[in-house]
Amino acid sequence: MIRLFTIPLIVTLATAVPALSQQADTAEPEADRAETAATENTPSQAETSDNLSQRAAQSQREVGADWPFWGGDAQATRYSPLDQIQPQNVGQLEKVFTFHTGDMPEGSAEGKYSPEVTPLKIGSDLIMCSAMNILISVDAATGEENWRFDPGVSNDAIPYGATCRGVSVYTDPEAPEDAPCATRVIEGTLDARLVAVDLATGSPCADFGDNGSVDLWQGIGERVPGWYAVTAPAAIVRGIVVTGAQVKDGQAEDAPSGVIRGYDAVTGELAWAWDLAAPEQNRNGPAEGEVYTRGTPNMWTTAVADEALGYVYLPMGNSSVDYYGSNRTEAENEYATSLVALDATTGEEVWHFQTVRHDVWDYDLGSQATLLDYQGTPAVLLPSKQGDIYILNRETGAPLTPVGELSDLPKGEIEPDFISDTQPFSEWHTLRKPPLEEKDMWGFTPIDQLWCRIQFRMANYDGFFTPPSSDKPWIQYPGYNGGSDWGSVAVDTERGIIVANYNDVPNYNRLVPRDEVTSKPINEQEAASDGGAKAEGAADPQAGAPYGINVNAGWRNDVTGVPCTRPPYGGIRAIDLATGETLWDRPLGTARRNGPFGIPSMLPFDIGTPNNGGSVVTAGGLVFIAAATDNLFRAIDIETGETLWSTVLPAGGQANPITYEVDGRQYVMVTAMGHHFMETPVGDEVIAWALPQQ
């Protein structure tokens, strides 16, 4: 049975006033009194929250000539109505400009760059962030720089990777159009700040927080650089900036909280906090000397918002220790790996839908959900890392497509009382492939294939949801990097087609007994972590749990470096939105840059590589996508799956592309900046293509 809860949507002022009165009774530290006096003429938090809850829905910018949201439109469909570039002429695309951000790794940032950025296009400008959060505006037609603002993030703030996927834009409906920061760019940073700058000039917005910056460490606890960072663009709904943060995986049970917070997009004041373990107690922030509940599931990826409903949809991760769960609280178990709908005007939960019960596989939700109409019902489409695709009622969370129940699942010997013996799965569509068999083991020669067969026999593997083990490794399939990850899916709402790229690789894992763990959690390390040089979960300490974890991501042969399972390792699929049936499915990525011992084979064959970064679909009938480790940017016919055009990027294209229009000319763009985890070359290029001008 899927857990599904509905909470009344309306929060009365009567619930807010007592909480604020309680705050007023709290002794005010001397140091804070001067600040309080200085701001006594500003609205109280009660007044701010009340005003925010009464804000009307605003009209949303439309995708087309612009690309105003990270997901294209406000619904995150990644569908563009532009149709100038079509299957018949896409082969004529020519490069229009290349812009260099100039942000390249230096010093301790070497080996940690994974920018993943997708620019916005607003009016005549492209707005983007670099790996280290430098905000940049360039002319969308020429690539000439308009302005840049460097918030000064230092290398020690890099968590697992230096990533800034994008920014958000908000227009104050009450500000004169030509007022400074009437339209502002808002960015979350690796050192846990919200930064707001003027869209036109890049100057900090003086009215937002402390001269354009809000400190997200407030209420989190001791500052440990790299442990708490923002890597995804915020969702903005009803004038509230909603953000979570990445909490570096696998460090300790006593990790920073996964609290979700909403801030006034104009003033930067805290509007509400959703601490899943103390939602009422910490609604207005923790009491003096307290912090948000530590170790709770976080949201490191991107939310989507329904402005009309005033709801925001949060793809949640799991608890701070991914691979051991017996010490988790009931609240953690309730919300981990769930899509949570909050009323963004109050921060109260509306519903949640859990995709994995008692997750000990790091199957956190990485994809941004997509809003759409499904058979006449406002819906939200949710892809998951284990490959399942769900469609839920946007208002209630009730499934609109069939959800089945796996039962009698293996429970293992580590924590059999904790492992759930049932799990939900989508009966409508899944990207997940059949279970592995020994014959699926693979290698370039009979010798390394035999070695992988031996590894298969040495591991615990009982299909999907094989529980973690310590006596010997266990095979996790699919691995934590997919199904569907942060690149999310694109939906051609006119043709009724979902386009989903995916990974199809297992992980080869082992729980490491505490007395064998040699690594230290990030808060006990003397210098910045070198975790960027290895995969997530590789020798993570999981302090506080009886086991550390060692993950062989992609289950690669230790000698040759190639996967132990046969290709393809990633693909792209078109799915009929009406029926859930596969229209076409093909490998994504050639072998040109992959080979044994890290030597590029230069073979043009479509073997299907791991891929990170999503696609854009257009009214012209094309799918544009990079993502794969072959450094190709390609255009695919959405009707047939055939690649119609491709070009070699100067670095890895692990980012979502966009398309836009300037003066009647359609452009398509992707950033080529590489990715340390995907082992693609690092760069700083932003590249745009268009058809030749007539």
Strand-pairing partners, residue 135, are 129, 149
- Say if 23 falls within a structural domain: no
Q: 226: phi > 0 → left, psi -120 to 50 → alpha, else beta; which? A: left
- pLDDT value for 527: 60
List the single range of 394-408, 462-476, 550-564 with lowest mean pLDDT. Answer: 550-564
Q: CB–CB of 403/2 below 8 Å?
A: yes
CA distances from 532 to 109, 336, 353 (A): 9, 25, 32
List the single range of 90-99, 271-280, 538-547 with lowest mean pLDDT. Answer: 538-547
Q: CB–CB of 166/216 below 8 Å?
A: no
Over the stretch 136-171, which tens digit does the pLDDT of each residue have?
999 999 999 999 999 999 999 999 999 999 999 999
- By C-alpha distance, which of 341, 393, 402 is closest to 372? 393
d(CA 99, CA 105): 17
**Which range in 206-210, 603-607, 674-678 is most confidently predicted, on average pLDDT?**
206-210
d(CA 536, CA 393): 34
- pLDDT value for 535: 73
pLDDT at 12 over 80: no
- pLDDT value for 539: 85
Q: Which residue has the tokens 């093909």?
A: 586
Q: Measured in whole angstroms, how far is the alpha carbon of residue 398 from the centre of its chain?
A: 23
- Say if 56 falls within a structural domain: yes
Q: Please give the residue that has the higher pLDDT: either 528 or 324.
A: 324
Q: CB–CB of 324/511 below 8 Å?
A: yes
Residue 600 pLDDT grade (very low, low, confident, very high; cuts 50, 70, 90)? confident
Q: What is the dihedral of CA 484, 488, 490, 493, to 10 degrees?
A: 100
663 as an active site residue: the answer is no
Find the helix packing angle between 45-53 and 13-25, rounded to 10°: 160
d(CA 237, CA 241): 7
d(CA 237, CA 349): 15
Mean pLDDT of 337-363: 97
CA distances from 269 to 41, 184, 214, 247 (A): 14, 16, 8, 23
- Say if 15 falls within a structural domain: no
- Say if 21 falls within a structural domain: no
Q: CB–CB of 412/475 below 8 Å?
A: no
pLDDT at 531 over 80: no
Q: What are phi and psi of 48, to 5 degrees?
A: -60, -50
pLDDT at 537 over 60: yes
List the single range of 187-196, 377-386, 520-529, 618-627 with lowest mean pLDDT. Answer: 520-529
Over the stretch 32-91, which tens digit does the pLDDT of each residue have?
333 333 333 344 555 555 566 567 899 999 999 999 999 999 999 999 999 999 999 999
Q: Which residue has the tokens 């701010």?
A: 48
List the CATH number of the domain containing 138: 2.140.10.10
Establish how many alpha carbons lie within 13 A of residue 473's alpha carbon, considering only the half-sphere containing its beta carbon: 18
pLDDT at 588 over 60: yes
- By C-alpha distance, which of 15, 27, 22 is closest to 289? 27
- Say if 28 falls within a structural domain: no
Over the stretch 302-314, which tens digit does the pLDDT of each residue have?
999 999 999 999 9
Q: Is the dihedral of CA 463, 469, 471, 475 positive or negative?
A: positive
- Say if 168 falls within a structural domain: yes
What is the total count of domains within the chain? 1
Q: Please give the residue that has the higher pLDDT: either 600 or 29.
A: 600
pLDDT at 482 over 90: no
d(CA 136, CA 119): 9
Full strand arrangement of the beta sheet holding 429-430 = 370-374, 377-383, 388-393, 429-430
d(CA 56, CA 36): 30
The helix (H) or strand (E) run that includes residue 383 is strand 377-383
Q: CB–CB of 158/532 below 8 Å?
A: yes
pLDDT at 559 over 90: no
Over the stretch 361-370, which tens digit does the pLDDT of each residue have?
999 999 999 9
What token pair was written down for 603? 């073979």
Over the stretch 571-584, which tens digit does the pLDDT of each residue have?
999 999 999 999 99
CB neighbours of residue 104 within 10 Å: 17
d(CA 93, CA 382): 33
Q: What is the dihedral of CA 220, 221, 223, 225, to 10 degrees?
A: -50
Mean pLDDT of 485-489: 97
Residue 533 pLDDT grade (very low, low, confident, very high; cuts 50, 70, 90)? low
pLDDT at 15 over 80: no
Nearest-5° Cα angle at 278, 234 to 325: 85
d(CA 123, CA 663): 11
Of 73, 264, 275, 362, the catalytic one is: 362
- By C-alpha distance, which of 691, 669, 652, 690 is closest to 115? 652
Q: CB–CB of 108/526 below 8 Å?
A: no
- pLDDT value for 444: 80
- Say if 33 falls within a structural domain: no
DSSP, collapsed to helix, strand or coil, labels residue 532 as helix
pLDDT at 9 over 50: no
- By C-alpha distance, which of 572, 67, 623, 76 is closest to 372? 76
Average pLDDT score over the chain:
91
pTM of the predicted model, to two decimals? 0.92
CB neighbours of residue 578 within 10 Å: 10
d(CA 8, CA 117): 37
- pLDDT value for 558: 81
- Say if 32 falls within a structural domain: no
Q: Which residue has the tokens 């007023």?
A: 24
158 Cβ contact partners less than 8 Å away, ≥ 6 residues apart: 108, 109, 112, 190, 226, 229, 528, 532
Strands 403-406, 388-393: pairing kind:
unpaired
Q: Please give the residue that has the higher pLDDT: either 496 or 446.
A: 496
pLDDT at 522 over 60: yes
pLDDT at 272 over 80: yes
- By C-alpha distance, which of 160, 150, 161, 236 is closest to 193? 150
Query: E strands along 159-227, which residues?
Result: 168-171, 183-188, 193-198, 213-215
Residue 529 pLDDT grade (very low, low, confident, very high; cuts 50, 70, 90)? low
- pLDDT value for 603: 73
Over the stretch 640-668, which tens digit does the pLDDT of each residue have?
999 999 999 999 999 999 999 999 999 99
Domain hosting 328: range is: 46-690
